Structure 1
Amino acid sequence: MRVKEFLIAKALHLIGLGFISDYVFAFLSIGYSSGEPIPKVLMDFNILNIVRGLFTRFVVSTNLDWIWPYWMVKQFYATSEGFSARGFNPASINTNYRNWTGIGDLDSEYEATIDPRGLTTPYFNSWSLDTWLQLDSQVYSPALEKVCAQKLLNNLPIVVTTTAYEKKIQLTSTVFAKDLGALRTVALQKTEVKNISKKTQTFCFSWAFRPYNNDGIALINKLEFKNNGDVYINNRLAAVILQIPGGITTSTLSRGDVKLFFDEAKSNGKLADFRKSRVGMATGICVYHVTLKPGQSTAFEIRMPVDRKIVKKLTDKKFAAQYSEQVRLGSYAALLKEHLANWQKKMQTGLEISVPDEKIQSCFDANKAFMLMFYDNTYITPGPSTYHEFWFRDATYLLNGLDKLGFHQETRNVLNTFQKRILASGLFHSQQGEWDSNGQAIWTLMEHYRLTKDQEFLKENYPLIKRGAKWIIGKAQSNLNLNPGYRGIMPPGLSAEHFGLNDYYYWDDFWSLAGLQSAAQACAELGKKGDSFSKGYAKLEQAVDTSLCYAAAHLGQPIMPISPSRRMDSAAVGCLSAYYPCRIYAADDPRLVNTVDFLQNKCFIRGGFFHDVNHSGYGTYLTMHIAQCYIGQRSTRALDILNWLLKVASPTWCWPEAIHPRTLGGTIGDGHHGWAAADICLLIRNMLYLEENNNLLITPVVPARWYKGQKIAVSKAATYFGQLNYTIETSSTGAALKLSPHYKQPPQNIEWNVPVKYKKVLVDGKIYSGARIIVPAHTKKVQLFY
C-alpha cells in the first residue's frame, strides 16, 4: 500500500468509516492520475450543493404546505411529471428544472435571475422575491399556476412575466437590472395588477420575501421591515419598497409559512416588523389592499441591489441609509426608457442580420444582447448565477462569439487580462489540472487578430503566445506513457468536466494543436521564426494520428473516441473540436464524419444529442457543435438541429447547460448558459456566411424556403477578410446576391451555396458557367434564374 493510500485508510478508520475504504480506493483508481487536485471551484460548488441539498430535502419534505418555488413544486409533489423520489437520495438538488433568465446592464459585473414563474433572485445563492395575491380568501403564487407567460421586452434582458388568476386578476411583472452609477447594478421590478373580469374585484397583492432560490434553501436568519419601506435581510439592506404597504407580517419554520398569516397582515396596519430564525427560514410579506373596476389596473414597485460588492457594504447602516435614499430617485418609466435606449443603441452596432424566420431572428437578437450581458468589462462568464466564474474553456467560445459579433473592443478588454492569468511556467491558468487552457488562450488571441488584423495587438501579446506555446510543447513531452496509443499525446488531466475523470483526452490534444498552429501563424505574421512551434505542432499531430490509428484498430473503423482508453460513447462529442472551432481536421475527414454519424445514430433522442456523461441530459451547446459539423458538410441536418434548439429554448430564448429528456427543464449548471448563447449566435452566423480555406461562403446551409420570395440581409459582419455586407433578394423567378464588403485582406474566392435549382447565372452582368457558384472576391452582384 502506497503512503497516500495508507494515510487515507488510516483517516477513514479513525472516523469510523473504514468500511468504505475499498470504494474510495476503487474510485481513486478510475482513470489516470494528473498529479493535480480537483479544481477548487468545483469542490466548493459541489460541497455547497450537497450540504444545501441535504438541508433543503428535510425542510421542504416536512413542510409541503408552504409555497415553494416552481422547481420545488415540480420535483417534490408526486403529481408532477418531474417528481424526484427522495428515499435513498440524501440531497434534494434542482436537477430537473434548472431554468432561469439573467438580467443585467451593459458593462455591469453582476446579474440577477428570473425563474420561469417570475421569481426574482437578486444575486447568486440569495433570497428571492415572489408576487402573491389573495383573492376570495385563497393565496396564489405564480409558482403554483399551470399557465404562465414569459417573454423578453424587445429581445433585450428585460423579463416580462404574466399570470392570470381565476380569470379575474392578471399580474404582469417587468424586471430589468440597470447600472445606477455609484449604486452599481440594481434590479427594478414593477408589477402591474389588472382586473380582467367584468366585475369590480377587491383583493390583496403582496411582495413575498422568501428563503429559497433556484438551487435550494437560501438562509434568512433575520428579516426586518422598516417604516420607510426598507427591507433588511441578515442585517443587510436587501430591498426598497416604493409604495408603503397596508400591513406587514413575518413568520418562521416553526410558526408556519407566512401565507397562513395573510389576514393578520391585512388587518394589523403595521409598517415595521422583525423576525429571527435560528434555522434560516424567516419569511415575510407586505400587503396592499386593492379594489379595481373592470379593466382598471394599478402597479407596485420595488428595487433590489444586485452587485455583490455593494451588497457586502449594505451592513453598514450609514451606507445603507444613503443607498436607500438614492435608489428611490428616478421614475420607473424614465429609467426603463433610458435603459431601453442604451441597449438599443448598442444593439445597432456589431453584426446585424435580417432573415425571413421570426424565431431565428428573435433568437439571434436576444442572444446577441445576452452576449453583451455576459461580458463583465474585464472578464466574461458563462452564466449569471451558478457559473459566474472565469474559465478559459468557456471564455474561448464566449470571446470568439463576442468577437465575431463585431464587439472587438469588448473582446480585447478581456484579452488584455490574459497577462495576469499566465503563470511563470507559461500555463494559462483558471483551474487546476486542465491542459486545454493554453491552446484555447492562444487560439482566442489569434482569432482576435485574424478578425481585426491589429498588428499592434499581436506584437503586444506575442510574448504570451510564445510562452504559452512552449508550455504546450513541454507538457506533451512530460507524458512518459510509452504504450501504443498514448505515446506523445497530452498527459492525463480533468479537461472539460463533461468527459469523465482524469484521462488522456483528445480534446486537450486538438486544443493544444490549435494553440501551436496559432503560435506558428503569429510568428509568420510578425516575421519571426516559428520553426519550434511548427515542429511542435507536427510532432503532436503525428502522435495524435498514431493514437487515433490505435483506436481505429480496436474500434474497426477510423473514428474518434474521447480517449484512447475509451470505447465510443457520447463524450466523443468533444472530438468534434477538431473541426469546430479548431479546424485541425476538415469537415469531410473520415474520422470526423464517422464520429458525427455515431453520435447521430446512437446518442440522438427525439432530435437532440443526449450526453450521458455528467450532464445526463440533452447537451445544448454540444448539440450545436454537431450542427456546426453538418454546416461544414453542407448538410441540411444542421437545420433540423436548429429547429430542435428553437423548440426547446425557453420563451426568453435561452438554454440551460443540459436539458432533461422528460421534463425539458435544465439538469445541470447555470439555467441560463452563456456558452450556449455564444454557440447559437455562431451557429446562425455560420449558416449565413463562413470562412473556409481562404474562401468566403455565402449561405452554406439555409432553408430552401428562404429563396422563394424572401429577403436575407447581413451587415457589419466581422470576417477574417474584413467587414462583410450582403443582401439576397428572391422572387418566384430567381435570386440576386448583392455584395458590398470592406476587405482588409480579400478572400481567394466567394462561394455562394444555393439550396434550390437554377438554370442561369449572371456575375456582374456576365453569363457564368460552372457546377458551383464560385466568383472573384470583388464581385458586386450575382443573379440566379430559376
Structure 2
Amino acid sequence: MASYEFLEMKKRHPDWIWPRSDTHMVIGMPGSLECYKTWVEPGNSFSPGISSFGVSLWIYDLDEEAWYIPEQMKLESFSWHFLEGKIPVSVCSWETGTASVRTHLFQNGNVKRQTYTDTERLFLYGKKQTSLEVYMVLHSYGACGGFIESVEAEDNKTVQINGFPLVQGTVPYDGYGAEDFEKGEADISSWVLKRELPEKRRGFQENGWCSAALKYQVNLKEGEEKELAWHFPVYLPKSKASGLVKFTGIQEADPQKAEEQVKEYWKKMFGKLELKVPDKRFEQAFYGTLLHMLLMVTGDDVRIETSFYPLFWLRDGVYIINALEKCGMGEMAGKALKRLIFQDFAGGFGSEADAPAEGIWALCEHYRFGRDKKWLSEVYPAIRRKAEWIERMLDTEEDIFDCSTEMVTSFIRACMVCGLVCHPSEDGLIQGVMDHHIPIYWINCWAVFGLEQAEFCAGELGYKEESLRYGKRKEELKEALYAYYPKEFLETPELQGIYSFGCAVWPTQAFPKEMVRDKFEEWWNVWRNRGGEYRPGFDWTYFEAAQAHNYLLLGEHSKYRTMLERYYEYQDVPGMYGYNEGKGCFERGIPVYGGQDWGFGNILPYRGWDLFDCNLPHNWVSAELFLMLRDALVHEEDGGLVIGEGVEEEWLRDDWQEDNRQEDCESTQRYVRILGFPTYSGTVSFEIYRREKKLHFKFVSELPVSRLFLRIPSIGLEKVWENIKELEWTDKTEKGEGAKKT
C-alpha cells in the first residue's frame, strides 16, 4: 500500500521514528467521503484524512529520564477502546513511571457540507508529583500520511500546513521548531529525541518531507489531572482541485463541547437500540463491529474497508446492509440498496454467480423489516430480474459471460476469468464462478435462498404464477443439491470447508439442520479442533465467524462459544474488535506483510501502513460477527422468534444474595436486557434474569409474534408460546417449568 518513495526513504533512514503500521482503525462520519476518513494507530497516532500528514504525541518523563513514544511501545502497553464501549471516540491509555496518560480522538462535522474536524484531547494524571515534556510531532508520513511541502507556526497555538491552519491548539505551546529536509538528512524526530527543537519557524520542501514539533511543559502534583487539546480541520490542500472546496475551519472550539456533540450524535444514531449483558466483551464486540461498519459508510454506499476497497462490493455489502437492518438503521440500509435495484453484479472480481441471490436477499430483508408494500412493488422488477438470472444459470448449456462490472484492480483486468459467470449446469446444479473458482455449495445454497426469497416477495404482491414458479425451481434445486451432498462438503485442505460450512444453515437455510449436523461434527474434528486444539482461521476470518454462526443455530453452544472466544482473544485492532481479512498475512498468529495487495495497493500512494496487507478493519468480518451476536440474543425462525440461543449460563447466575447487593436486578449485573431490537415482528424488548433460583423472563413486541421460543441451550431450557405480544414468565421450579402471564 505504501508509496515507493516512502519505502525508499524508510530504507535510507532506519533511525527515524516511523509509523508502527502493525494495526489501525478508521474513524469518520457515516456518509463522509473516503478522503475525510481518519486513520488511527495505537496511542492515537493518526492522520487527519487520507494522505494528509501524521500526528503523534511523544512524552518524556523527566523523573524517570525515559521516553514514551507510541510508535516504539509494545502493543500490550496500550488500553484501547471506544468511549463507553459504543461511542466512536478512540480512547487510548498508557502509563509512564510517574503519570497516567489518556487520549480521546474523535471526528465531528457536517455531512451535507462535507466539513469535518478531528479533535484530540490529552489527559495527564500525576501518580506522584512529576514533570513531563509533551511533544506533538507532525510528519509527512503517518498512519496514512502525505506531502507536507510547508509547515509554519502561525501563532503560539496554531500551525499552518501547506498554507492552512490545520493544527489548532487550545493552549499556547512552550516551544516550536520546523525541519524542511534541506540537506537531505534531517527529520524532526532527530531533534526531538535529543529534547531539542530547531530554530526554524517555517519549513519548505517541494518533495513534501517537512516536519515540525510543538513542545509543552507539564508539571503535575500527585492526584492532579491536566488537559491539553488540539483541533485538526480535515482539509487536503495538496489534493487535485482542492481549491474548489472552501476551507471552513473547526466545527466547535471547545474540546469538551465537541466531544459531547459527538456523543449526542451517536446516541441519536442508535435510537432505542440498547444491549446489556454481564459479559462486557460481548457488548463491546456488538457495538464495536457495528461502529466499524458505520464509520466507513461513504455517501450512500457501505464499504468493506475504506481506501483499500474503493468500491461497493456486493457479496460483502449485503451482509453489512443486513446488519444495518437489524440495528434499526433501515433508512441507511434502504439508501445502500439503490445499487442493487439497477445492478445485478458489483465488486472487484467482476460478475460472480452468487450475486443475484445475494441481491434478492438484501432487497427482501428490507421489506421484511419495513413491511412497505409500495416499496416492494417498486423494486420487484429488480428481484424478478435477479431470479431470472438464477434460472438462466440453472438452464444454460453454454458458458455465460457478463461484462457489466467495472474492474478496479490490475490483476483482475489481466484475468481471463473476468466476466465468466458460470459454465453449463451439471446434474441440476449451477456451475457458478465465485472468487475465481466454482464452490458448488456456496453458489447453489445461495441460489436456493434467492429463489425462496423471490417466491415470498412475488407472493406478497399477488404474483401467484411467478411465486409458484420460483417455488418449483427452488425445490428442484434442493433435490439436486441434496442428491449431490455430501460429496466435497468437507472441501479441500486449502479451503478447509470455508464455503460449505459458512453458508449451509446460516444465512441460506438451504439445508435442514439435522441433515448436516454429522458433517459439522466431522468438520470440527478434522479442521477446526483437530487433536483437541482449536485452530483459528487467520485467513478469510469472515468465514470462521459464519461457521460459528452456523454452530449457534445448530444448538452447538460449546462450539459456538469456543469460536466466539477466539474473536475476543485474537483482535487485529485490540480492544476495538476490528479484524483483518487475512490473505496469508499471518505467521504464528502474528500479523506480517504478506507481500501481496491483490492489485489494490497500486492506487494507494500513501506514506505509511506498509508492514502487512491493509484491508483492516474488514467489514464483512464485522458484519458476520455482529449478525451472529444479534442472533445469539434474538433471531427469526419458522415465522416466529427465538430468544436467548447464545445466552451463557453464568450470565444468569443467582448471586445477588451472596454479594450482599440490593435485590433489584440491575445492581447484580446478572441479567440480559435488550431494548428496541428490530425483527420481522417489529421492535422487541426483553429481559432475562435469575433470582432466588428462579428464572424470570419479560417480553414486549411491537407486533404479535406467531411463535415465541425461549431457547437457552446453555441451561437446557426451551419454552414455546403462541401468538404473543407481551408476557411475563417465571420458573416455578429449578427445572424450568412455569406458567405465563399475558
The equivalent residue for 1:66 is 16
Q: Which has the higher contact order (CA 8 A, sep 6+)?
A: 2
Residues 116 and 251 in structure 2, CA contact (< 8 A), matched pair in contact too: no
Q: 1:100 to 1:586 in 2, by over 3 A?
A: farther
The equivalent residue for 1:103 is 27
Q: 1:163 to 1:210 in 2, by over 3 A?
A: farther
Structure 1 residue 752 corresponds to structure 2 residue 683: no
* Aligned mates of 1:207, 1:429 — CA distance in 2: 39
* Aligned mates of 1:680, 1:572 — CA distance in 2: 15
Aligned partner of 1:284: which letter? S
Residues 148 and 210 in structure 2, CA contact (< 8 A), matched pair in contact too: no
Q: How does 1:120-135 map to 2 (within 5 A)?
A: 120-134=46-60
Residues 424 and 431 in structure 2, CA contact (< 8 A), matched pair in contact too: no
Q: 1:237 to 1:206 in 2, by over 3 A?
A: closer
The equivalent residue for 1:653 is 577
The equivalent residue for 2:152 is 225
* Aligned mates of 2:172, 2:525 — CA distance in 1: 58
Residues 490 and 500 in structure 2, CA contact (< 8 A), matched pair in contact too: no
Q: How does 1:339-418 map to 2 (within 5 A)?
A: 339-350=262-273, 352-376=274-298, 378-387=300-309, 389-418=311-340
The equivalent residue for 2:627 is 682
* Aligned mates of 2:213, 2:502 — CA distance in 1: 54
* Aligned mates of 2:448, 2:163 — CA distance in 1: 52
Q: 1:723 to 1:238 in 2, by over 3 A?
A: same
Structure 1 residue 188 corresponds to structure 2 residue 119: yes
**Alpha-carbon distance, 1:449 to partner:** 1.4
**Alpha-carbon distance, 1:577 to partner:** 1.2
Match of 2:88 among 146, 152, 157: 157
Match of 1:455 among 369, 373, 379: 373
The equivalent residue for 2:519 is 594
Residues 375-394 of structure 1: CA deviation (Å, up to 9, x unaligned): 44511112244345311111
**Alpha-carbon distance, 1:406 to partner:** 2.0
**Alpha-carbon distance, 1:547 to partner:** 4.3
Match of 1:489 among 421, 429, 445: 429
Residues 609 and 618 in structure 1, CA contact (< 8 A), matched pair in contact too: no
**Alpha-carbon distance, 1:593 to partner:** 4.2
* Aligned mates of 2:107, 2:362 — CA distance in 1: 30
Match of 2:471 among 530, 534, 537: 534
Match of 1:672 among 589, 600, 617: 617
Q: 1:207 to 1:180 in 2, by over 3 A?
A: farther
Aligned partner of 1:673: which letter? H
* Aligned mates of 2:445, 2:160 — CA distance in 1: 51
* Aligned mates of 1:507, 1:395 — CA distance in 2: 17
**Alpha-carbon distance, 1:568 to partner:** 7.2
The equivalent residue for 1:94 is none
Q: How does 1:38-187 map to 2 (within 5 A)?
A: 49=1, 52=2, 58-71=8-21, 97=22, 99-110=23-34, 111-134=37-60, 140-146=68-74, 147-155=77-85, 156-165=87-96, 167-168=97-98, 170-180=100-110, 182=113, 184-187=115-118
The equivalent residue for 1:78 is none
Match of 2:453 among 515, 518, 528: 518
Instruction: Report SS of the residue matched to 1:622.
Output: helix
Residues 151 and 178 in structure 2, CA contact (< 8 A), matched pair in contact too: no
Aligned partner of 1:597: which letter? E
Aligned partner of 1:622: which letter? F
**Alpha-carbon distance, 1:470 to partner:** 1.2
Residues 571-616 of structure 1: CA deviation (Å, up to 9, x unaligned): 53455313111111123323x64156325532458976544xxxxx
Aligned partner of 1:719: which letter? T
> Identity rate of aligned residues, in percent?
17
Aligned partner of 2:461: which letter? L
Structure 1 residue 782 corresponds to structure 2 residue 729: yes
Instruction: Report SS of the residue matched to 1:675.
Output: helix
Structure 1 residue 583 corresponds to structure 2 residue 504: no
* Aligned mates of 1:180, 1:593 — CA distance in 2: 53
Equivalent residues, number = 656
Q: 1:508 to 1:700 in 2, by over 3 A?
A: same
Q: 1:701 to 1:671 in 2, by over 3 A?
A: same
Greater shift after overlay, 686-695 or 437-446? 686-695
Aligned partner of 2:314: which letter? F
Unaligned ranges ≥5, structure 2: 400-421, 593-611, 655-669, 735-742
Aligned partner of 2:70: which letter? P
**Alpha-carbon distance, 1:203 to partner:** 3.0
Aligned partner of 1:594: which letter? K
Residues 171 and 191 in structure 1, CA contact (< 8 A), matched pair in contact too: yes
Residues 506 and 549 in structure 2, CA contact (< 8 A), matched pair in contact too: yes
**Alpha-carbon distance, 1:400 to partner:** 0.8
Structure 1 residue 477 corresponds to structure 2 residue 427: no
The equivalent residue for 1:696 is 641
* Aligned mates of 1:655, 1:628 — CA distance in 2: 17
Residues 165-195 of structure 1: CA deviation (Å, up to 9, x unaligned): 4x14554321101114635232212234455
The equivalent residue for 2:666 is none
Instruction: Report SS of the residue matched to 2:184.
Output: coil
**Alpha-carbon distance, 1:67 to partner:** 0.7
Instruction: Report SS of the residue matched to 2:84.
Output: coil
The equivalent residue for 1:288 is 215
Q: 1:506 to 1:301 in 2, by over 3 A?
A: same
Residues 708 and 732 in structure 1, CA contact (< 8 A), matched pair in contact too: no
Q: 1:431 to 1:573 in 2, by over 3 A?
A: closer
Residues 430 and 444 in structure 2, CA contact (< 8 A), matched pair in contact too: yes
The equivalent residue for 1:271 is 201
Greater shift after overlay, 386-395 or 403-412? 386-395
The equivalent residue for 2:176 is 247
Q: 1:231 to 1:539 in 2, by over 3 A?
A: farther
* Aligned mates of 1:159, 1:618 — CA distance in 2: 27
- Length-normalised TM-score, structure 2: 0.79
Structure 1 residue 211 corresponds to structure 2 residue 148: no
Aligned partner of 2:588: which letter? R
* Aligned mates of 2:634, 2:710 — CA distance in 1: 10
Aligned partner of 2:578: which letter? C
Alignment RMSD, CA only?
3.5
Aligned partner of 1:736: which letter? H
* Aligned mates of 1:508, 1:113 — CA distance in 2: 36
- Length-normalised TM-score, structure 1: 0.75
**Alpha-carbon distance, 1:642 to partner:** 1.6
Residues 159 and 176 in structure 1, CA contact (< 8 A), matched pair in contact too: yes
**Alpha-carbon distance, 1:65 to partner:** 0.9
Residues 256-282 of structure 1: CA deviation (Å, up to 9, x unaligned): 4322223899565543322333xx6x1
* Aligned mates of 2:251, 2:78 — CA distance in 1: 30
Instruction: Report SS of the residue matched to 1:740.
Output: strand
* Aligned mates of 1:544, 1:358 — CA distance in 2: 41
Q: 1:693 to 1:781 in 2, by over 3 A?
A: same
Q: 1:653 to 1:575 in 2, by over 3 A?
A: closer
The equivalent residue for 1:465 is 383
**Alpha-carbon distance, 1:749 to partner:** 4.8
Residues 101-143 of structure 1: CA deviation (Å, up to 9, x unaligned): 2222354444312112322123345532212235568764211
* Aligned mates of 2:347, 2:11 — CA distance in 1: 42
* Aligned mates of 2:138, 2:688 — CA distance in 1: 52
The equivalent residue for 2:546 is 625
Aligned partner of 2:504: which letter? A
Residues 452 and 474 in structure 2, CA contact (< 8 A), matched pair in contact too: yes
